[in-house]
Chain A
Amino acid sequence: MSSAAIVDETKVESNTTAETVVSVQGLVKVFKDFWGRPKAHAVNNVSFEVRRGEVFGLLGPNGSGKSTTVKLLLGLLNPTRGHIEVFGHSTRHVATKRRIGYLPEESYLYRYLDSAETLDFFGSLFDLTSDERRQRAEQLLEMVGLDKVRRRTVGEFSKGMQRRIGLAQALINDPDLIILDEPTSGLDPIGCREVKDLIIELARRGKTVILSSHLLADVEDVCDRVVIYYGGKIQAIGTLKELLSTPDRLRITTPVLGRETLEKVLNIIRTDLNKGAEDVLVDSPTQNLESYFLDVVRKARSSAKETSGATSGGNVAEYLRSSSGEPAKKDRILERLSSSKPVAEQVEPAPVQKETKEEISKRLQTLLNKTEPAAPAQEPAAPTVENKKDMSKANEKLSGLLGKKEK
């Protein structure tokens, strides 16, 4: 992690080019006991901004202040000190909540309502007409894979199914800001992938997403920027690129090379680096477990007929797609997930630019021609399958920063 990524807590990032959706300034939340004595400093002098279209991650171990921050943003708690604005208004501004969708960390839904009734009820709170509510409920239930169990009450749902219906209710109003607290908790790998893809899809259409999660891989997959909490304070904030890139290392990905060519390249590199073979690694890319699992399920689904639980999600709800006027590139999430291509190639985090084969060859040629030690690349390599393989390394780095990884 670059040292620049370690934040000065009082310094607020500023970006005048994008609309600020959430602004948090000097936020402090002290929980008090019955007698009004301070019990815990849950959030301590936190400042950050979230801009339109960003997927912003809140990361930290238990008790670090993530959920408290989320609840402060939603007006469920009052700040002890500091200032919060959401869309330029106080968190208690009722009309602003029309633009917010919220998925809490646990299912706080009414257990005696079925899926369709749940969505209809929450739609009513947004003054949607009955036609709108019905249409959106249909699309959302299909999207989260609950259209086959729409008449089962939420109380009968598994945890994963409750997350799905929770996510659907968070999107019933086509929100501009979506706050998701542990959105993949309890979901199967397909569900996790669907949720992550949905987040990316929403962000691509100009929605702002604030994501609080313990799962580092989730955060890494979808977030543009993250803030890392510990002890109620921000320990680090920045883009994933800023936090995760290692400027003194370089990875080259090529098609399979002949032994002679490979030896030549290695010799050049060793000569150039003036080091032994132990510092240069050559291996073949492998598919990660997630994409392998999805491939197995895709094949199984082609022969299996029915399941009593949730099915894979379908189309992104039409009203969510049409909000930006941009046509959806991939209609069926399932198809995209289950394609034989490595998952990482399908998911394209916005700030990372993908390099073409020509560009990679050109860079390789440049490296080969150089006599000076290679400078760190300006941009990290495109997320490839090899990147996924290194996810564990990234996790290790973040875990080192956070302490023990949460369950």
Chain B
Amino acid sequence: MKPIYAIAKLTVKSAFRFKIVALLAVFLVLAVSALPLLLKDDGTARGFVQILLTYSLGLTVTTLALSTLWLSCSLLAKDIEDCRIQMLVVKPVSRWKIWLGKWLGVMTINALLLAIAGGVILGLLQYRSAKLNEKQKHVLQNEIFVARGSAKEAPVDLTQDVENIFQQKMTEGSTQGEVDKAQLKKQIREMLKYQYQLVPEGHMRVWNIPLGMAAHTLKDKPLYLKTKFIAMSHTSTFEDTRSFPMMWEVGPMNSPQSWRTVIMMTPNVSQEIEVPPNLIDEKGYVQVRFINDQDDTFFFDMNDGLEILYRQGGFFINYVKGLSILFCWLGLLAAVGLSASSFLSFPVAAFFAAFVLILGLSTGTMTQVIEEGGVTGVDHETGKIEKQTTLDHVSVVIFKGLKNVTDIVRGFSPVELLSSGRTVTWGMMFRAVLQVVVVMGGLFAALGMYCFTRRELALVKGGQG
């Protein structure tokens, strides 16, 4: 361990001596401090959190991601090109230990810079929150500076309904000619799903949401309904600012304990409603009802239509866990940079690492190619490629493979969770460590260590006397 520690320490020392740490620290502090001054918020708690947390933390992560790639590529590649690496490999230190020592060094620098930037952002959050009015402070304390759990309705099983309708259609003979049964069932399912999400005029929609173990800890604590809907008469209007008085009931049906409110709400916007405590039934369920007494039909998405948020813990621990997940991402990038420089020269390694980063951010394109069935032009009516060429087949196979790999590390968005006051769970954090650092980082590390071990390190420079 001592050699690994010594190499890590040397890496950190080099970053300090070359003033890289000082430069990045000053830049980050100035950037996260100046950003809220440059971007004016709307005076609400959410508005200023959006700027301070989302933008500042995003800027911090982007800066550290780029500096990590540059630093990790240059550390090893420059050492090889300037022959300094020869002084290490002739010592009794395995090459994988040299590689690991450098990775740990880069991660120590990242930890320090992330802690500085994170600390400044947290300090600014506390400082600026004191200037909000009482109402916004209340929102901030209960909806943002908090770690909240989330509960949704259990997924609805439509299989039996689909089967019943399918059998009915087959019996009635309402289908003509040859029918693709699977396609028909799919159409029936989509139709049922759509109907399930609609709440027509004069109808009521009921959600039974299980809170599980959390129900026992929520006595005397408020709940928050988070909802988002579409007004079907306004779907074609891009700038729909019309609000509706929406009637909500929470608590057991026909119970005097039930709580009712009518609140003005805007379509297509996520909104939260604070619900008084103690409306959970003995089974740990909360029943939420929406009564549509408007002259419009509303659409609540099965996934995002409604969820209940409840307090789980404090903001600070949540914030630290969020930063830890960002740190895992930086760990992966450091592994990518070091791996590239294990077998490539500095400029080529930097190019390769940047390419990997862009690839990781291009999952939208990958998904599109897979869905469309290739990279050549699609039929605008079907949204798919009519005749797939060899290039299409090959690209789909490659993009499927790449997407499978990138999917391992996607799905961790701590900034979004933090800015909406949601809990970054321990499970998510450990999954991030496992999937991002151990699995993906490990793959790159194994590749880098193998190449570095095999490489002839005296080929770069030096006389062959």
Contact = CB atoms under 8 A, between A and B. Distances in A.
A77 B94 CA distance: 16
Contacts of A63: 463-465
A102 B88 CA distance: 11
Contacts of A122: 87, 91
The bracket for how many chain A residues form the interface is 35 or more
Interface string B80-98: 0011101111111110000
Given A77-B456, A106-B83, A125-B6, A68 B464 contact: yes
Interface stretch (B9-17, B141-149, B182-190, B354-362): B9-17
A96 B91 CA distance: 9
A186 interface: no
Contacts of A253: none
Contacts of B91: 97, 122, 125-126
Nearest to A43: B464
Interface stretch (A109-117, A290-298, A346-354): A109-117
Contacts of B456: 76-78
Nearest to A98: B92
Contacts of A96: 92
Contacts of B459: 31, 77
A66 B465 contact: yes
Contacts of A68: 464-465
Most chain A CB inside 10 Å of its own CB: which residue of B18, B87, B462: B87
A42 B84 contact: no
Interface residues of B, number: 30
Nearest to A29: B464
A231 B3 CA distance: 39
A61 B463 CA distance: 11
Contact of A124 (B6, B463, B464): B6
A127 B462 contact: no
B111 interface: no
A105 B14 contact: no
Interface string A4-48: 000000000000000000000000000100000000101000000
A77 B458 contact: yes
Interface in B63-107: 82-84, 86-94
Interface string B274-300: 000000000000000000000000000
Nearest to B463: A67
B181 interface: no
Interface string B422-465: 00000000000000000000000000000000001111001111
Contacts of A125: 3, 6-7, 88, 91-93
A205 to B, nearest CB: 21
Given A77-B456, A112-B18, A121-B6, A105 B463 contact: yes
A304 interface: no
B131 interface: no
A100 B5 CA distance: 22
A405 interface: no
Contact of A95 (B87, B89, B92): B92
Contacts of B3: 124-125, 127
B11 to A, nearest CB: 10
Nearest to B1: A127
Contact of A110 (B2, B14, B90, B94): B14
Given A112-B13, A126-B91, A76 B457 contact: yes
15 contacts: A62-B465, A64-B465, A65-B465, A67-B463, A76-B89, A76-B456, A77-B458, A77-B459, A104-B87, A104-B462, A105-B463, A110-B14, A112-B17, A125-B88, A169-B87
Interface of B: 2-3, 5-7, 10, 13-14, 17-18, 82-84, 86-94, 456-459, 462-465
Given A67-B464, A108-B82, A126-B91, 6 more contacts: A76-B90, A78-B456, A94-B94, A122-B87, A122-B91, A125-B92
Query: Closest 10 CB pairs between A and B?
Result: A124-B6, A76-B458, A112-B17, A67-B465, A125-B91, A71-B458, A97-B92, A98-B92, A66-B465, A108-B83
